[in-house]
Copies of this chain bind each other. A is one copy, B any other.
Amino acid sequence: MTGPGAQKANPPRKGRSRPLSGDDVVRAGLQLLDEQGLAGLKMRSLAERLGTYPATVYWHVGNRARLLAQVVDLVLEEIEVPEAGRLAWPDWLAALAREYRRVMHRHPNVAGLVASQLVVSPPAIRLVETVLAVLAEAGMDGQALADAFNAYAGSVIGWVALELCSAPADAGEGWQDDFARTVRSVPAAEYPLIAANIDHLAGQAFALRWQGGSQRPMDEGFEAALRMWIAGLADLLPAPGG
């Protein structure tokens, strides 16, 4: 009765010769995350997209939390680490930060996951080692090295996660316009500096914008933050004469 030509592909079925692999599932999960957001990445939807049943997805990835961790790893592997030795350490750290941000902008919904999970995974560890190598070359060592790494990594990852946060799913149509109006009409008496600089702040500053960084990238803001981090790192270096 359920003959060929199922137009809607509603019953899970698909021309597949090779059996499904864990990698297939994770890759499809990333696609779904990119297209539909974190809430849209449902085990059921994923199964449907793969032409199987939920239990099959579970067989391959364990559960949703593990799937998300693997998706994060997949994205971290997209990061192309700058060549060592060709750049001075400030330029190298800047280049890696830009590359990290570039990859996260390709997968905006992953940025928050990186920041919210306690990831200890091969792709992450590999990145750590390369950053440590550069900081060590700059003259860092021991506790200072660890501190500098945490300061740099935490700033970059955290800042980009903040940039790429998204609007509440709850929000209706006119929501953005409403907020834009609200922000643009803050009372100058109460908030003189916001009012005086409103053209540089409205829609562009944290807590005063109504679009995530995916809709409206904060390119100049990131470059300024990058200058700040790099200049500040130089300050953490042991005195040259030391």
A-side interface residues toward B, CB under 8 Å?
62-63, 65-66, 69, 112, 115-121, 124-129, 132-133, 136, 141-155, 157-163, 165-170, 179, 182-183, 186, 190-194, 197, 200-201, 204-212, 218, 220-221, 224-225, 227-236
Contact = CB atoms under 8 A, between A and B. Distances in A.
A204 B149 CA distance: 11
Contact of A146 (B145, B160, B162, B197): B197
Given A150-B218, A235-B228, A170 B63 contact: yes
Nearest to A169: B65
A210 B225 CA distance: 28
Nearest to A137: B193
Contact of A136 (B128, B146, B193): B193
A186 to B, nearest CB: 7
A209 to B, nearest CB: 7
A200 B145 contact: yes
What is the oligomeric copy number? 2
B161 A118 contact: no
A78 B146 CA distance: 31
A56 to B, nearest CB: 19
Nearest to A130: B193
B232 A229 contact: yes
A125 B198 CA distance: 12
B150 A205 contact: yes
Contacts of A206: 128, 149-150, 153-154, 157
